[in-house]
Structure 1
Amino acid sequence: MVISCMTVAIPAQIGGQPVLILKENVNRRTGDEEIANSAMTAEVIGEFLKSSLGPKGMDKLLVGTVGDITFTKSGVTILSEANVEHPVGKLFVELSKATDKNVGDGTTSAVVFASALIRRGFELIKMGVHPNLVAVGYSKALGVAVDCAEKIAMRIKVDDEELLKKVASTAIMPAIGSDGNLEPLANMAMEVVKSTAEKRGRRFFVDTEQISIVKKVGGNLSDSRLVRGVVVEKEVQHPNMPKVVKDARIALVDFSLEVKKTEISTEIEITSPEHISEIKSRERESVLSKLSNITRAGANVLFCQKGIADFVAHKLANEGIMAVSRVKRSDVERLARATGATIINDPEDIVPERLGNAKEVEEVTYGKDKVVIVESGEPVALSIVLRGADEDILDNYERAIKRGVSAVANLYEDPRVVLGGGASILEVSKAVNKAKVKQKGEMQLVFEAYSRALEELVETLVSNCGLNKLKDTAELRTLHHRKNGFVFGVDGLNKKIADVRRTGLYEPFRVFKYWIENATDLASLVLKVDDMILTTKPPEEKGKGERA
């Protein structure tokens, strides 16, 4: 989306004299024109993502500049890859990225809701309501919405595995579709968070940086596995080295085990063939002396961040030591955390106390690729190996497992849930609409606009699940006005209106609160902007840079 810019200077008059204020490459848009342009941008982005909301949402096909293809319904992925140009559009991109980074879910809901708020706010402004009054009204309505969500939120126990699995499944469902096999991913998400959650005082802390995801083409989702350790995407250095080592003693070294080239240019006078052999022999002895320290310390597995020469690999194979070379620094650091080993920079520092321990180290083949799996047995570092038919499917699985992990991690930080399937959204919308009667004048219109924007999310969810938008949304409203009607929502799996407690649709309260608050803040910010000054690249002069 590109703003059309006039590359003309903007003049003003002081005392009858023309004064040039803005340069020729500066475009200014003010007043109603600017608000209308921002509202139009927000509406286009909202319409773009609407069809991707919910478990039955449609995928988008994104083609990059070099022809790379991405299939996804993830709001943050769509906006990040769409190369949005408009400044207001970029605010929506940042909203989705911030939501994904902080709570891991709710990105599409946040964008679609913010878009609806801006569109309805613009309609009020056209009716004569001041933008500041709209922003203040949205803030008040948000307070009512959050209070209602607090009341209907349910506190859970983080050791309730069945409920944790339901929350993970609800988060994963939109990423891979309601027809997909959710159980393997939900189980892994729950196990990962349970293993990494650390209690500090009265609260839990989950470090998702400990979790690594490795994608390997081939097999299917049921072949995926959770590794309590580290997966190194390298193969064993020599074919004669052991492929499995139990009760491993691991050395992590950050020095080269090959003949180094000199840093400065030198000349050596050779007088005989024996002289060449002597030089090569001394070079080999220098490298092998480093190796002797490793074997003397009792290591039977070696991970080297630098290279390993062929003759060293042969010697290690004869000693029965498994070795892997040119391991990434990030993998070496994760191995250090997982095994308790110290990263060694000097061969003289290799002693038994600096070695790490692991239950098993094994080279595993996935199709044409080989990896080395280090099973430490401790939850200090965890790895997930995902299997799927192709790269696109694996990318979707990766997004899904990240959503599931974030959902469960959110419960450890705030152990409250709200009902999914649009049930909580409709209940909050009802509370805001009810609160409008306590407002005066134009503020009632603002509250009604906020309530209708929330209802639009439910209508979109109903429509995307293949239900009748008017009939089934009306049925939901009727059910929510009954006693205990807040439990009814959209069951995307079975394509019907149902008690979502029975279908297990739950989402973290922390996610719900985050996206509704940040979407409201963005809408208020955009509606209060009445002047945009955009600097563009000045046009090149004709003939500039051409040869005479």
Structure 2
Amino acid sequence: MMPRRQPNVMVFNTNQESEKGRKAQLSNIAAAKAVSDVVRTCLGPRAMLKMILDPMGGIVMTNDGNAILREIDVKHPAAKSMIELSRTQDEEVGDGTTSVAILAGEVMASAELFLERNMHPIVICSAFRRMLDDAVDYMEELSFPIDPNDRPSMMNLIKSCLGTKFSSRWMELMCNLALDAVNTVHLEQDGRTEIDIKRYARVEKIPGGTMEDSRVLSGVMINKDIVHQKMRRRIENPRIILLDCPLEYIKGESKTDIEISGEADFNRILELEDAHVQRLCADLLALKPDIVITEKGCSDLAQHYLMKANVTVIRRLRKTDNNRIARAVGATICHRPEEVKESDVGTGCGLFDIRKIGDDYFSFFVECEAPKAATILLRGASKDVLQEIDRNLQDAMNVARNVVFDPRVVPGGGSIEMALSQALVRKSKSIEGIEQWPYRAAAEALEVIPRTLAQNCGANVIRLMTELRAAHASGDNATMGVNGITGELIDMTTIDIWEPYAVKVQTIKTAVEQATLLLRIDEIVSGLAPQQAGGQQAPQPPAGGPPGGMPMPQ
């Protein structure tokens, strides 16, 4: 009689972990899954919004992953690390903040089964890193080149980004705003490309009007009025001098010794102060400026001299605004009036104008020849709407910026994740040893993106995912994905849904590397001892308890 064949059972011959290390790892996985679940409904064009109450009593309504997670107060250290993940993604590529949190949570969850079966975390991390390297190599093969100067292609790409946002109602307008702003601040200098959106593409949000009133200015707008009502409020082709020093007499400090013996001495001091201010103004007026802008103060006497010379003055400007004006009009910010030269005067502005919008006065430096700095004027119903549109616009500008630096795109709608998943699952069969199983689990974790898209649009998830796997089984239909609006299977090239290659690579790299980092933690130790009232340190617990008053992982 032949013996019965035993079924295949995964047996991992590794060293047993301590129970303490297992608890820390499972606790980290639970925290990562919890953070991931918070933003899971915020993915795709049918995404829901979250309403968050901040500590100051304000309200944030958004579906942007980074904006949501940075407002959440968590105690668990692994959850804090997951929140940092989203912030890092936002700073690096500006988009994909929701996807990276969801994917990191799913990759972490895929390791739970192997930890329970006593597989060593180092083996799991090694398999994850191997999967990551293969995924990046395969994604390069699936990428398509794109011309950053082809406006229709760039518009389609930005529409794909904005299709999942609140501002998708004004899709055409928002795409034009983002693309115009990026093209304005695009600077080619000394063989290098610079697109500094945060510093030179400022968004001014003014409640009121309609969204259609929004536009990109070919120059700079600042929330400042002139210092004297008799100064000119509209100047064509002005000569502009920028300063970061005060136009007033600076009083001496406490160590200054002045001996006054009579009324004539006091008058002499005042005359010296007036002469100093007059000399400052004379140095400026020698260059025949139309506008003088300073980051510091401007005394009444300086205003008088400059107003008599028909010069307009704006004072107490922020450093960031002064830098943008300097770049827009071609001026140089000077530190002393006597050092200003003719080459420091800005002449690139076509029109200076002061207009009243709502209750505030704004100074416009527009019609610049080569601004290289832009102001995006956003109008809308309320501050909450404008804040959300601002966040969406920042994502759109970052997408356009990423493509300039890396002109490659991949199909969206979860198609690239499913294509990677199926290709890596096929490759896992050729891997020898126990690393095959975590490699395969991490590859299958990539399916969380198309699955979440299907869930959020109300589709039949099991049927749709089965059809999608079947479409990608041969490896030839890498562009088949989920239509996030209708919940149907569709070729992404037919509806022009694309995503920047840089964003997708950064998303997968960040998520997998975060998972490998958290899985290597075998103990959570508190470095702070609890303090008693009065500032004294709490007594140490008896032997056998947690050291140093260490709280157990939440």
TM bin (shorter chain): 0.7 to 0.9
Which amino acid in structure 2 is aligned with residue 60 of structure 1?
K
From 54, 73, 86, the counterpart of 1:64: 54
Measured after TM superposition, the shift of residue 394 of structure 1 is 1.8
User: 2:501 aligned with 1:512, yes or no?
Assistant: no
Which amino acid in structure 2 is aligned with residue 391 of structure 1?
K
Q: Secondary structure at the match of 2:163?
A: helix
Match of 2:180 in 1: 191
User: 2:194 aligned with 1:216, yes or no?
Assistant: no
From 53, 57, 65, the counterpart of 2:43: 53
User: 2:109 aligned with 1:119, yes or no?
Assistant: yes
From 41, 44, 47, the counterpart of 2:31: 41
Deviation readout 1:341-371 (Å, 9 max, x if unpaired): 2323333234433311111112132211222
Deviation readout 1:402-422 (Å, 9 max, x if unpaired): 111111111111111001111
Measured after TM superposition, the shift of residue 462 of structure 1 is 1.2
Shift of the 495–308 alpha-carbon distance from structure 1 to 2, 3 Å rule, reads: farther
Match of 2:384 in 1: 392
Match of 1:461 in 2: 453
Q: Which moved more, 1:196-205 or 1:528-537?
A: 196-205
Which amino acid in structure 1 is aligned with residue 39 of structure 2?
L
Match of 2:125 in 1: 135
Match of 1:81 in 2: 71
Whether the 8 Å CA contact 1:135–1:527 is kept in 2: the answer is yes
Q: Secondary structure at the match of 1:356?
A: coil
Q: Secondary structure at the match of 2:511?
A: helix
Q: Secondary structure at the match of 2:229?
A: coil
Measured after TM superposition, the shift of residue 270 of structure 1 is 5.9
Count of residues in Structure 1 that have an aligned counterpart in Structure 2? 515
Measured after TM superposition, the shift of residue 515 of structure 1 is 1.0
Measured after TM superposition, the shift of residue 169 of structure 1 is 2.1
Whether the 8 Å CA contact 2:423–2:475 is kept in 1: the answer is no
Match of 1:372 in 2: 363
Shift of the 284–277 alpha-carbon distance from structure 1 to 2, 3 Å rule, reads: same
Q: Secondary structure at the match of 1:534?
A: coil
Match of 1:532 in 2: 524
From 150, 153, 163, the counterpart of 1:163: 153
CA distance, structure 1, for counterparts of residue 535 and residue 463 of structure 2: 65
Shift of the 393–407 alpha-carbon distance from structure 1 to 2, 3 Å rule, reads: same
Measured after TM superposition, the shift of residue 467 of structure 1 is 2.2
CA distance, structure 2, for counterparts of residue 447 and residue 244 of structure 1: 67
Deviation readout 1:454-499 (Å, 9 max, x if unpaired): 1122111111123222222233223334675322222334554322
Deviation readout 1:25-79 (Å, 9 max, x if unpaired): xxx9822211111111111111111111222222222212221221122112222
Deviation readout 1:145-200 (Å, 9 max, x if unpaired): 2222111110111211111112222223333254x212222112222323333457
Deviation readout 1:3-42 (Å, 9 max, x if unpaired): xxxxxxxxxxxxxxxxxxxxxxxxx982221111111111
**Normalized against structure 1, the TM-score is what?**
0.86
Q: Secondary structure at the match of 2:378?
A: strand
CA-based RMSD of the aligned residues comes to 2.7
CA distance, structure 2, for counterparts of residue 205 and residue 267 of structure 1: 56
Q: Which moved more, 1:388-397 or 1:345-354?
A: 345-354
Whether the 8 Å CA contact 1:205–1:413 is kept in 2: the answer is no
Measured after TM superposition, the shift of residue 314 of structure 1 is 4.7
Whether the 8 Å CA contact 2:260–2:266 is kept in 1: the answer is no
Measured after TM superposition, the shift of residue 129 of structure 1 is 2.8
Matches within 5 A, 1:295-310: 295-310=285-300
Which amino acid in structure 1 is aligned with residue 287 of structure 2?
A
Shift of the 49–29 alpha-carbon distance from structure 1 to 2, 3 Å rule, reads: farther
Q: Which moved more, 1:263-272 or 1:488-497?
A: 263-272
From 340, 346, 357, the counterpart of 1:356: 346
Measured after TM superposition, the shift of residue 445 of structure 1 is 2.4
Match of 2:15 in 1: none
Which amino acid in structure 1 is aligned with residue 83 of structure 2?
V
Which amino acid in structure 2 is aligned with residue 471 of structure 1?
R
CA distance, structure 2, for counterparts of residue 102 and residue 124 of structure 1: 32
Matches within 5 A, 1:407-446: 407-440=399-432, 442-446=434-438
CA distance, structure 2, for counterparts of residue 118 and residue 539 of structure 1: 35
Q: Which moved more, 1:85-94 or 1:438-447?
A: 438-447
CA distance, structure 1, for counterparts of residue 535 and residue 528 of structure 2: 21
Which amino acid in structure 1 is aligned with residue 277 of structure 2?
V
Q: Which moved more, 1:533-542 or 1:429-438?
A: 533-542
Shift of the 153–313 alpha-carbon distance from structure 1 to 2, 3 Å rule, reads: same
Whether the 8 Å CA contact 1:56–1:492 is kept in 2: the answer is yes
Measured after TM superposition, the shift of residue 92 of structure 1 is 0.9
CA distance, structure 1, for counterparts of residue 172 and residue 380 of structure 2: 15
Which amino acid in structure 1 is aligned with residue 326 of structure 2?
A
CA distance, structure 1, for counterparts of residue 287 and residue 56 of structure 2: 50
Match of 1:478 in 2: 470
Q: Secondary structure at the match of 1:42?
A: helix
Which amino acid in structure 2 is aligned with residue 164 of structure 1?
M
Whether the 8 Å CA contact 1:229–1:377 is kept in 2: the answer is no
Which amino acid in structure 2 is aligned with residue 366 of structure 1?
I
CA distance, structure 2, for counterparts of residue 343 and residue 288 of structure 1: 21
Measured after TM superposition, the shift of residue 204 of structure 1 is 4.2
CA distance, structure 1, for counterparts of residue 303 and residue 535 of structure 2: 62
Which amino acid in structure 1 is aligned with residue 503 of structure 2?
V
CA distance, structure 2, for counterparts of residue 542 and residue 365 of structure 1: 55
Which amino acid in structure 1 is aligned with residue 175 of structure 2?
A
Q: Which moved more, 1:308-317 or 1:455-464?
A: 308-317
Q: Secondary structure at the match of 1:338?
A: helix
Deviation readout 1:321-346 (Å, 9 max, x if unpaired): 22211111222233223222232333
Shift of the 290–53 alpha-carbon distance from structure 1 to 2, 3 Å rule, reads: same
Match of 1:19 in 2: none
CA distance, structure 1, for counterparts of residue 210 and residue 82 of structure 2: 35
Which amino acid in structure 2 is aligned with residue 45 of structure 1?
V
Measured after TM superposition, the shift of residue 502 of structure 1 is 2.5
Whether the 8 Å CA contact 2:284–2:338 is kept in 1: the answer is no
Whether the 8 Å CA contact 1:337–1:381 is kept in 2: the answer is yes
Q: Secondary structure at the match of 1:383?
A: strand
Measured after TM superposition, the shift of residue 311 of structure 1 is 4.8
Whether the 8 Å CA contact 1:50–1:460 is kept in 2: the answer is yes
CA distance, structure 2, for counterparts of residue 502 and residue 245 of structure 1: 51
CA distance, structure 2, for counterparts of residue 307 and residue 541 of structure 1: 47
Shift of the 353–116 alpha-carbon distance from structure 1 to 2, 3 Å rule, reads: closer
Q: Secondary structure at the match of 1:252?
A: strand
Shift of the 541–256 alpha-carbon distance from structure 1 to 2, 3 Å rule, reads: closer
Whether the 8 Å CA contact 2:186–2:372 is kept in 1: the answer is no
User: 2:83 aligned with 1:93, yes or no?
Assistant: yes
Match of 1:405 in 2: 397
